[in-house]
Structures are given as structure tokens and as C-alpha cells.
Amino acid sequence: MAQCMNEDIGLEGTIWFQKDQNRFLGGDRIVLLEQIEALGSINSAAKAVGISYKTAWHLVNMMNNLSDKPLVERTAGGKGGGGTILTREGKKVLEQFRVVQEEHRKYLHNLEERLGNTRKLHQFLKMISMKISARNVFSGTVEQITPGAVNAEVLLLLSGGARITSIITNGAVKNLGLKEGMSAYAIIKSSSIIIGKDLHDAHLSTRNLMCGTISKLIEGPVSTEVDVEIGGGNVISAIITRGSSEKLGLKEGGHACTAFKASSVILGVN
């Protein structure tokens, strides 16, 4: 045990691409993009990197949601309804990341020689690492903040023009340092999303109603994951019962609406 504790610990680091101070693309997702480019199928890419088909689509949707332009798109035709390819923007990002990654390796090597013992730094990096379990993470700009007696209504403008309304406490607004014009995240659990059809003229108490095209259905024995493209490369994922999906007659390529309460939207900043 003593011999193991005395072994040198190499310096490690993670590269992330940022958009408006928001992290959205790192090494693990780059590997997935590389496999999609090489294999032309998200199913094959998922198997190649050792993740589930469902997880792969979740990562792709998140990257597309947080990028100015979609990085991955589906193609029509062929066996199984078509394949999955990188867009021009996706290929550009992949090339840029490879350049940055090579320079990053050189930088860490030089820095490791200068720092010597990096045990404490390595432990610190591990402590501050964090992952979010929520399926829906969107990047946007705070367009409006309307304070109330206890809570505040925050309107977040997404890249594609869609708007998400969140209700949080005035204390949370202060703690996050939220101001109009700054960048922020909207985080919504997939279980908080309601799916419906023909809701454009419906009167609902929910503050958020977004309609679009069903881009993906992943059916399980009990639940079904529904991905709805709402424009601007943004995709909302919902988990509903399989019975509800069948009752609504949901199909890929069909129209659907998503609805969720403003109180279900968590806001975050860097």
C-alpha cells in the first residue's frame, strides 16, 4: 500500500468547448462524434464507444441544443429509415478540437515537469467535476427578469428563438447573479415534460408550450422516450408511459407539443 501511495501521479486535464461561457463539448462527446462520422450510424457509434443507443441520442441532443448550429443530423432513406451524419459545423468542430487536443497534450507535459508533485491538484480537479442527470439542458440568454414578492419570473431566450420561462425565488436570482443579457442554462427533467398533440390553441396553466416534430421515439416495455425538435437545433426529451405514446399515436416525423411548468425549470450559470 505504501509503495502505491508513493507512486507519481500524472497531471490530467479535460478540454471543453464553450459557447457564451457555457461548456457543451468535451473529449467523451468528441469520441462519439468521431464514430458517427466513421460509421454513419448512431447505433453503431454507440456500440463502438460502449454506451447505449438511448444515451448516445441524449448526448447528441444536448450537443445540438447548446451549439449555434446542429452538429449531427439524421438522413432519410436506406435501411432502418436512414443514417446519422455530421453536419458541416460538426466536422469543423471536430477538426478544431483535434488541433486543440494536440496542443493541450504538449501543454500538460510541459506543465507537469514544472509542477513536480501534482497529487493535490489532481484531487482538487476530481472534487470539482460534476455531471447533470437531467436530460434537457439548454443554453440561452436571460431576456427578462420580473421580480415578485417571493419569486421571480425569468425568461430565457434560446438560440433558435424559442423562449423558456422559469419561476425561481428572488434569493436564487440574487445568488446566481442573474441579470438581463447574461448567459444561463435551463435544465428540465424529462419526467417533467408533458406530451400532447394539437395544443396550439389549448388553454393550459403551464407557462411553457413548445411544438415541433418528433425526431426520435425510443420505446421500452413501460416507458417511451420522445424527442421533439422545436427549431434552431433544439430538442426536448420527455419520458412518458408507453400506453400514453400509443394512445396519442406518436410516430417519428409526426407533430407533437411539449408542455412543462415554469417551476420545473432549474436555472444555472457558470
DSSP secondary structure string for all residues of 213-224: EEEEEEE-SSEE
Residue 122's pLDDT is: 56
Quote the pLDDT of residue 25. Answer: 66
Answer yes or no: is pLDDT of 193 > 50: yes
**DSSP letter, residue 6:** T
Which one, of 131, 187, 135, lies nearest residue 158 by Cα?
Answer: 187
Q: Other C-beta atoms within 10 Å of 41: how many?
A: 19
Please report the DSSP string for 142-193 in residue order. Answer: EEEEEE-SSEEEEEEEETTS-EEEEEEEHHHHHHHT--TT-EEEEEE-GGG-
Domains of the chain plus CATH, in order, are 16-128 (1.10.10.10), 136-268 (2.40.50.100)
- Residues 127, 130, 133: CA angle, nearest 5 degrees: 145
- The stretch 204-229 carries a mean pLDDT of 92
pLDDT for 12-25, tens place per residue? 666 666 665 656 66
Q: Within a 10 A sphere around the Cβ of 30, how many other Cβ atoms?
A: 18
What pTM did the predictor assign? Answer: 0.59
Quote the mean pLDDT of the chain.
83
How far does CA 256 lie from the centroid of its chain?
20
pLDDT digits (tens, 9 = 90+) for 29-79: 888 999 999 998 889 999 998 999 999 988 888 888 877 788 898 876 555
More confident residue, 137 or 202: 137
Mean pLDDT of 221-236: 92
Higher pLDDT, 183 or 100: 183
CA-CA distance, 258 to 86, in Å (whole number)? 27
Q: Would you say residue 9 has pLDDT above 70?
A: no
Q: What tens digit of pLDDT does each residue of 140-179 get?
A: 899 999 999 999 999 999 977 899 999 999 999 999 999 9
Which amino acid is present at 125?
Answer: L
Rounded to an integer, what distance in angstroms lies between the CA atom of residue 255 and that of residue 250?
8
More confident residue, 183 or 108: 183
Which among 218, 199, 189, 185 has a CA at the least distance from the CA of 258?
Answer: 199
Residue 214: pLDDT over 90: yes
Identify the pLDDT of residue 77.
Answer: 57
